[in-house]
Structure 1
Amino acid sequence: MKQLTSAQVRQLFLDFFRSKGHTVEPSASLVPVNDPTLLWINSGVATLKKYFDGSVVPENPRITNAQKSIRTNDIENVGKTARHHTMFEMLGNFSIGDYFKEDAIHFAWEFLTSPEWLAFDPEKLYVTVYPKDTEAKRIWSEEIGLTPEHIIEIEDNFWDIGAGPSGPDSEIFYDRGPEYLDIAEDDPENFPGGENERYLEIWNLVFSEFNHKPDNTYEPLPHKNIDTGMGLERVVSIIQNAPTNFETDLFLPIIHSVEELSQGVHYGDSLQTDVSFKVIADHIRALSFAIGDGALPSNEGRGYVLRRLLRRAVMHGQKLGIQQAFLYKLVPVVGHIMESYYPEVLKQQAFIEKVVRNEEERFHETINEGLAILNEVIEDVKANNRTTLAGQAIFKLYDTYGFPVELTEEVAEDAGLKVDHVGFEKEMQAQRDRARAGRSKEQSMGVQSTLLTDIKVESDYVGYSDLEAKSALVLIISDDAFVKKIDEGSAQLIFAKTPFYAEMGGQVADTGIVVNSEGMIVADVTNVKKAPNGQFLHTVTVKGQLIEGTEYFLQVNTAKHNKTIKNHTATHMLHKALKEVLGSHANQAGSLVAPEHLRFDFTHFGQVTPEELVKMEQIVNEKIWEALPVVTVETDIDSAKAMGAMALFGEKYGHDVRVVNIADWSIELCGGNHVKNTEDIGLFKIVSESGIGAGVRRIEAVTSKEAYLLAREQEEQLKQVASLVKSPQLKEVVSKVDQLQQQLKEAQKENDTLSTKLANQQASDIFTDIKEVNGVTYVASQVNVKDMNQLRQLADQWKQKAISDVLVLATAADEKVNLLVAMSEQAIQKGYKAGELVKAIAPKVGGGGGGRPDMAQAGGKNPAGIPDALAAVSEWLTAN
């Protein structure tokens, strides 16, 4: 076996399959593009689904990749096992209707055992097969030459995710030797494929040969596919003779850096601290890559996963004696480990560090806040003579305040309380069920169909230069079948050439008409999309007879097209302006370019200020008024990158690309349509800016006529305001409104002064009405004040004058009740607590509340219950 680094193993794999005619697909973003069924990219095949279900036909049916992936269903086990990870790399080779079992098996065997490649000892390799897959078993036996004891039949070796492609699989295992066996020799799991550490699965070959239909029947696929995956971390652990994945060069540099940050703790000192080192090393890898790909910490979706990973890593850092923010210091370590294939981490190091550090420092504040709340909960449990911290309380601390479960349990146990694990898990499961119910109902992979994938006719796009074209109708589809002619209804058409733009890259499709030789409109084009092999597929409403092979005149709706291209060019300009104002980290995360407006989504972890929006808008308009030429050139991808062209979100680029260059200011790869000069846009106006998800924000804007109409609408609204404030001239509206606001403030101030005087007068009345129960003096009264703030002011007077031991005040306004309870030091020493008293009387007014021992408050919705609440004070003091 060769001694190799992880980077060498990855490169060898890609080089091997490149030598077998495969195209190397770059690793895609961890954040899925146009796939609502996935939270993260979780496998090598996840980004290739469009090829497997036939919606797109690849240029080369042989593909290989090294794909970064995230799986989060087992976070709790990370660090405790040898091979669980949140982020991992899957090395894969794929065949889309090209080679099948024989080549896939031979390729895998050659790469693993050939001296030129990994040079594994064949005697240490075992394979598992699906019992009914006699062909795979025959290839392993007769062609590869494996003996019967090296081939194990396992019933579970069938890959199936529901409707869509499925089929048997064959797994490859490496025998690490008896010294790695973690179970008894005679244990029934002691075999390749069993639950043990000796036989390590390194590769899975999936033979995708059936369509799993919605009715749960299976039929042969029109095109059989190969989908394989080899875990890089596992293979490297074998090559580097590492007991677990964490002792490889993928993780050890991070672990050693954590050792330097810890208070004298070293990896290997104990099993408990080793878990902490592993958790930190694993989680900072996932955080660095995910944040670099545009995901940001938040309270939902992907952001919630990142927040959970970061907080788990911080807590394990504390177990190693690291009390300050430290994870951000590990980002460059991750970047240097992975830079040979993933240079993006180091390129975005400053941004990733900033996000991680901000989140760490916020969490340190959360820990302190959470501890204060937890101590109150524990105090309440003990005060009520309970011995168990309820699962609901644990979950609330975890879910609402982000307080780690393990820390809650540790503090509770230190306080002598038991922990309701079952109740907590019940709450967690309820949350998972809610999340599952909210996910997309779309299938994770479509059922393969040959109708569109087998279309090989030519279809050229001429819309870059012409919005009208005469062209032959080469194909008609109606009711999922090819027809020779059609007279009515809807259909899909393919022409030899077309001026209609197909929906892609955020730009909506062109619409228009199809006219016959007699000048009659025979179809309205309502949408255009690309077929799997790239042809322009026109969805039409048929108005007259269409016949295959006949020439027709195609005419794009030029008014809508011209408005769309203005918005498309403006989108490029906004992208550039946004980076200039917010920074290079603000990357496009989706867009929509339509005739009436444009929408631009981008990654940004903070708020966008009004001043920043004004600056962006100003930059775009200045570039419009400069009348900059917009030049589009076709070139190869390497030349485009050398020009500094930015790639747009979610786009895949082949060898030849189009570059849209706005006077060397904005240069982007783009297949869409654009104006010839920025002055054609006329005017650009931002309509709104908002947050739409974890670290993703959206700008909506308009151009040209729509921008003018928006300005006119806003002017009319300003005129209405001028009329309301009686300002004869628009330019005086601001000063007039400011004057009215000042008058309002003065009136409010005067009102507050009068309210305070009234409250003071009431205080002199109610503070003389002192009652006594069991030697405890109290004041309980309803007062006429406007809010809780004035109740607190009365409580301050009560405290300063030491009126009584207990104070209970109530006020009602707009069918809402506010209650305030205060306790003197003497009352607290006797065992009375404001929080407990307010909880006892608040139900009388239809509410609830709580607070500290010295002061608590509550709200309610039943003013009629105030007398009962105040009367209950005496009862409570008597009972307690």
Structure 2
Amino acid sequence: MKQLSSAQIRQMYLDFFKEKGHRIEPSASLIPVNDPTLLWINSGVATLKKYFDGSIVPENPRITNAQKSIRTNDIENVGKTARHHTMFEMLGNFSIGDYFKKEAVVWAWEFLTSPQWLAFDPEKLFVTVYPEDTEAKRLWIEEVGLPEDHVIELQDNFWDIGVGPSGPCTEIFYDRGEAFNDVAEDDPENFPGGENERYLEIWNLVFSEFNHKPDNTYVPLPNKNIDTGMGLERVVSIIQNAPTNFETDLFMPIIQAVEALSHVKYGDDTLTDTSFKVIADHIRALSFAIGDGALPSNEGRGYVLRRLLRRAVMHGQKLGIKEAFLYKMVPVVGQIMESYYPEVVENQTFIQKVVRTEEERFHETINEGMDILQQVITELKESNQSELEGSIIFKLYDTYGFPVELTEEIVEEAGFTADHVGFEQAMTAQRERARAARSKEKSMGVQSSLLTDITVDSEYVGYETLTQTSELLVLIQDEQLVEGVVTDEAQAIFAKTPFYAEMGGQVADKGVILTADHQLVAEVIDVKRAPNGQHLHQLRVMTPLKVGETYLLQVNLAHHHSVLKNHTATHLLHKALKEVLGEHANQAGSLVTADYLRFDFTHFGQVTSEELAKMERLVEEKIWESIPVVTIETDIDSAKEMGAMALFGEKYGKKVRVVNVGDWSIELCGGNHVTNTEAIGLFKITSESGIGAGVRRIEAVTSQKAYEFFDAEENQLLQIAQIVKSSQLKEVVNKVEQLQQQVKDLQKENEQLLSKLANQQAGDIFKDVKEANGITYITAQVAVKDMNQLRQLADQWKQKELSDVLVLATASGDKVNLLVASNQTAVAKGVKAGDLIKAIAPKVGGGGGGRPDMAQAGGKNPAGIPNALAEAVNWLNQQ
């Protein structure tokens, strides 16, 4: 077997399948694009769903990739096992309706065993197959030459996620030898495919050939597909003869860096080894996820990151590292992965800033969590309990990031047991809540051959003209191809079209379909891209429409030009964001309509009004400068050399369009734009807000809509001027400030009067002291403003030592406030304010509580105040 680095193995895999005619698909962001069913990209096929379900036909049906992925369902096992990871790499080769089982099997064998490639010993390879998949078994034995005792039939070898594509699969295992035996020879799990450490699964080939229908039947797919996945970390562990994935060059540099910081040696102790592994795994996931735009928070993806970071920090503490250290590991991760994933190095400063800020914030809460745990242990001792409840373990884990094993270790050291079952129940409940909160959309759509089989050529000419005479090539109604439509809605494809299809955040064009003599035939209400790239027009048909006829396609100019202005303004805003906030402010989605533009971006923190003003000013300056907007078509490499920014979620072919605004804003974009920035006219940011963990949103308007916004603002200002009796707008601010000062003066005067009134009342009520069972008391309803003034009266009562107990009530509208105070004499005799308030609050329809010497309550029944005061007297008489 060859000695290879992880980078060499990854590249060899891609090179091998490139030689077999596959197109190399770049690794996509860990954050799913337009897929609400996924929290993270969790496999190589996850980014290719659009090809498998037929919504898009790929340029090349053979695809290969190395895809970074995150799975978080087994975080608790990371560090304890040989191969559990949060972030891992999946190497895959895929066929969309092209080659099938024979090629997939033969090529997998060739890559694994050929001296030119990985050169595995064929004797050490075993495969599992689905019992009914006799073709796969035949291929392994007859085409590859595997002995029959190396082919095992397993009923579980059927890939099925519910409704959608499914099919049998075959898994490839590597025999690591007797040294890795962790089960007995006669153990039923001691075979390739069983639960053991000796036979390591390295590759799964899925033969996707059926549609699993909602009625639970399976029918053949229109196009049979191949979906394979090889775990890079596992293959590297075999080639580098590493006991686990963690002793490979993918993790050891991180572990060695942690050794240097902790002065603890890896390999000396199982417990500390677990901490090293957790830290190495988690910082990889954190570095890549933050680099892709996810940020720590209390929900969704951000919650996962916060949990990973806190778990890693706690394991750092177990190694003796008491200060922030994870951020120092980010450059190490970047260096390991740079050959294929340069983004960590490129975003290193920002990633480190986020990690360090989050680490330092967590260090502030660690002591609080430890205090809570020690308090819980003390309570266990005092109450003679022997077990810590699972709900408390979960709270420490969920709120403070304490690893479960750490909590259980501390509790057990103190002589108690931990309710691990209860913890697992709480964890399961949380997972179910998370699943329920996620979209219930299908994870992969069922293929439909109707649109995928349409291969007619259709040319978009909207960059040059907005009016085009063209032949109608395809007409669809009620999901069937038809030759003509009389009325109702239909879908159409023309030989040429000036209508832009919705894409890259830009909405579709609207317009009309006319006859040669300009008679209205249909309205174009929407345009989408068909699987093979044609522009599919959604029509509202007015008069008969026939395939083969020629029509005049006319785009709505007003709508189109408004969209152009907003789209170019979006590019200017994107650049302004980066200049004001920093290069980390990347686009995380956009919407360009005729009425407004919406721009989502990643940012760790708030955006100030001053920063918004700077952005707005920058965009306006570019409009005033009347800069030509130049659009050129080139190849992707040339575009990158020009410094062009790629937009979020976009896939680019061999040829790309570069939109260049005076060499200031340069972006890859297939949308429509103005020819000069002056056409935008006006630009105004109308709102800025947070929409999720580390993602913020700006909405803005341009041109006519901006004018209308300013006009509405001016009208409001004019109304305010009339209200404050100002003849000139420039005097409005001064007038409003004067009014505010008047209000403050009146409020102050009112407070003084209320205080005087309260003092007068106090003089009256404090005279009426009564006695019950040796306890003196005062009860009264007073006319004061709120609870604050009740407390002021209680302070006077306390200073003057007028009685043992004070009970006061006040009403304002339908709101009631009650206050009870007890002095030390009353408390010593068992007359506690908290107990008394609980007894009387129901009389006013409320509740409350407090300390033995002071308690308060609220209610919603002012009519019940006399009853509450009477109940207070009854309660005192019964003590």
Relative to the length of structure 2, the TM-score reads 0.92
Q: SS of the counterpart of 1:57? A: coil
- The answer on whether the counterparts of 2:483 and 2:546 sit within 8 Å (CA) in structure 1 is yes
Is the deviation greater in 815-824 or in 743-752? 815-824
1:318–1:818 CA distance, 2 compared to 1 (3 A) = farther
Offset at 1:546? Answer: 1.8
One-letter code aligned to 1:135: E
Query: Quick one: structure 1 residues 788 and 293, their matched pair in 2 at CA, closer, same or farther if it must change by over 3 Å?
Result: farther
Distance change in 2, residues 1:687/1:360 (3 Å):
same
The answer as to whether partners of 1:209 and 1:224 remain within 8 angstroms in 2 is yes
Question: How far apart in 2 are the matches of 1:747 and 1:505?
Answer: 56
Q: 2: CA distance between counterparts of 1:859 and 1:410?
A: 45
Give how far 1:362 is off: 2.0
**Matches of 1:43 and 1:54, distance apart in 2:** 19
Question: Which amino acid is the alignment partner of residue 258 of structure 2?
Answer: V
**1:130 paired to 2:145:** no
CA distance in 2, matches of 1:366, 1:470: 68
- In the alignment, which residue of structure 1 is the partner of 2:628? 629
| 8 Å contact kept, 2:173–2:201 | yes
Deviates more, 1:483-492 or 1:687-696: 483-492
Q: What is the aligned partner in structure 2 of residue 321 from structure 1?
A: 320
- Which residue is equivalent to 1:109? 109
Tell me the secondary structure at the aligned position of residue 166 of structure 1: strand
> What whole-Å deviation, never above 9, does each CA across 1:425-484 have from its counterpart, x for those lacking one?
444444333332222121111111111111111100110010001111111112222122
Worse-matched range after superposition: 852-861 or 271-280: 852-861
Residues 364-763 of structure 1 aligned to structure 2 (within 5 Å) = 364-370=363-369, 421-756=420-755
The residue aligned with 1:239 is 239
1:158 match = 158
Note closer, same or farther for the CA distance 1:234–1:821 as it changes in structure 2 (3 Å cut): farther
Q: Find the residue that maps to 1:117 and give its secondary structure.
A: coil
Q: After superposing the two structures, state which structure 1 stretch, 126-135 or 293-302, moved more.
A: 293-302
Question: What residue number does 1:180 align with?
Answer: 180
Give the counterpart letter for 1:20 in structure 2: K
Opposite residue 267 of structure 1, the aligned amino acid is Y
**Structure 1 position 45 matched with structure 2 position 45:** yes
Tell me if the contact between 2:334 and 2:344 (Cα under 8 Å) persists in the aligned partners. yes
Letter in 2 for 1:562: H
Aligned alpha-carbon RMSD (Å): 3.4
Checking the alignment, whether the CA contact within 8 Å between 1:530 and 1:536 is kept in structure 2 is: yes
Partner SS for 1:92: strand
Residue number in structure 2 paired with 1:79: 79
Q: Percent same amino acid at aligned positions?
A: 75
Measure, in 2, the Cα distance between the counterparts of 1:824 and 1:333: 64
Q: Distance in 2 between matches of 1:37 and 1:337?
A: 31
Question: Do the aligned partners of 1:96 and 1:226 also contact (CA within 8 Å) in 2?
Answer: yes
Deviations 1:622-681, CA, capped at 9 Å, x for gaps: 111110000100011111000000001110001110000001110000000000100011
Change (3 A) 1:846 1:16: farther
Q: 1:373 to 1:822 in 2, by over 3 A?
A: farther
CA distance 1:18–1:435, change in 2 (3 Å): same
Secondary structure of 1:715's counterpart equals helix
One-letter code aligned to 2:279: I
Equivalent-residue separation in structure 2 for 1:440 and 1:40 (angstroms): 13
Cα–Cα, structure 1 residues 873 and 629, in superposed 2: closer, same or farther, change >3 Å?
same
Q: Separation in 2 of the partners of 1:798 and 1:184? A: 81
In the alignment, the residues of structure 1 paired with residue 265 and residue 766 of structure 2 have an alpha-carbon distance, to the nearest angstrom, of 65
Distance in 2 (CA, whole Å) between partners of 1:773 and 1:413 is 53
1:555 partner SS? strand
Q: In the aligned structure 2, how far is the partner of 1:879 from the partner of 1:176? A: 82
Q: Distance in 1 between matches of 2:381 and 2:809?
A: 29
Greater mean alpha carbon deviation, residues 231-240 or residues 789-798: 789-798
Q: Is the 8 A contact 2:314 2:402 kept in 1?
A: no
CA displacement 1:184-207 (0-9 Å, x = unmatched): 221111111011111111100001
The verdict on how the C-alpha distance between 1:410 and 1:738 changes in structure 2, with shifts beyond 3 A counting, is: farther
Q: Give me the whole-angstrom Cα distance separating, in 2, the residues matched to 1:404 and 1:784.
A: 55
Conserved? CA contact 2:765–2:780, under 8 Å: yes
Write the letter of the residue equivalent to 2:505. Answer: G
**Which residue matches 1:59?**
59
Counterparts in 2 of 1:856 and 1:610: CA distance versus 1, 3 Å = farther
What are the Cα deviations for residues 219-249 of structure 1, in whole angstroms up to 9, with x where unaligned?
Answer: 1111111100001111111111111111111
Counterpart Cα distance in 2 of 1:607 and 1:771: 58
CA distance in 1, matches of 2:107, 2:152: 20
Aligned to 1:70: 70
- Listed as ranges, the gaps of 5+ residues in structure 1 are none
Cα–Cα, structure 1 residues 588 and 629, in superposed 2: closer, same or farther, change >3 Å?
Answer: same
Identify if the C-alpha distance between structure 1 residues 819 and 82 changes in structure 2 by more than 3 Å, giving closer, same or farther. Answer: farther
> Could you tell me whether the CA contact under 8 Å between 1:366 and 1:402 is conserved in 2?
no
1:271 is aligned to 270
Shift in alpha-carbon separation, 1:148–1:756, aligned structure 2, 3 A: farther
Check 1:158–1:659 CA distance in 2 against 1; reply closer, same or farther (3 A cut). same
Distance 1:603 1:431 in 2: 27
Listed one character per residue, the Cα deviations across residues 811-837 of structure 1 (whole Å, up to 9, x for unaligned) are 654544556778989999999998888
Alpha-carbon distance between aligned partners in 2 of 1:576 and 1:452, rounded to the nearest angstrom: 38
Shift of 1:548: 1.6
TM-score normalised by structure 1 residue count:
0.92
Gap change, CA 1:503 and 1:762, over 3 Å in 2: same
Q: Aligned pair in 2 of structure 1 residues 269, 840: CA closer, same or farther (>3 Å)?
A: farther
1:236 partner amino acid: V
1:125 is displaced (CA, Å) by 0.7
Would you say how many aligned residue pairs link Structure 1 and Structure 2?
A: 879
Give the distance between the partners of 2:122 and 2:319, measured in 1 at CA: 43
Residue range with higher mean Cα deviation, 410-419 or 626-635: 410-419
- Supply the AA of the counterpart residue of 1:672: G
Contact 2:7–2:340 (CA under 8 A) maintained in structure 1: yes
Cα shift readout 1:340-395 (whole Å, capped 9, x = no counterpart): 11111111111111111222222223334445666777778888887766555555
Whole-angstrom distance in 1 between the partners of 2:727 and 2:394: 60
What residue number does 1:335 align with? 334
- 1: distance between equivalents of 2:54 and 2:208? 13
Greater Cα shift, 828-837 or 530-539: 828-837
Q: Distance in 1 between matches of 2:9 and 2:239?
A: 9
Contact 1:366 1:403 in 2 (8 A): no
Larger deviation, residues 727-736 vs 643-652: 727-736
Q: Name the CA distance, whole Å, in 2 between partners of 1:251 and 1:21.
A: 33
In 1, distance between residues paired with 2:787 and 2:226?
68
Are 2:394 and 2:427, in contact at CA under 8 Å, matched by a contact in 1?
yes
Distance 1:871 1:415 in 2: 52
Shift in CA distance, 247/812, structure 1 to aligned 2, threshold 3 Å: farther
In the TM superposition, 1:199-214 aligns within 5 A as 199-214=199-214
Q: Could you tell me how far apart the structure 1 residues matched to 2:419 and 2:238 are? A: 41
Distance 1:849 1:87, change over 3 A: farther
* Aligned partners of 2:266 and 2:276 also within 8 Å: yes
Report which stretch shifted further, 397-406 or 161-170: 397-406
Q: Which amino acid aligns with 2:144?
A: I
CA shift for structure 1 position 417: 6.7
> In the aligned structure 2, how far is the partner of 1:418 from the partner of 1:755?
59
CA drift at 1:335:
1.1
Q: Please state whether the residue corresponding to 2:475 is helix, strand or coil.
A: strand
**Contact (CA 8 Å) 1:170, 1:204: kept in 2 or not?**
yes
Distance 1:829 1:305, change over 3 A: farther
Relative distance call for 1:734 and 1:377 in structure 2 (3 A) is farther
Query: How far off its partner does 1:753 sit?
Result: 3.8
Structure 2 unpaired stretches of 5+: none
The verdict on how the C-alpha distance between 1:180 and 1:769 changes in structure 2, with shifts beyond 3 A counting, is farther
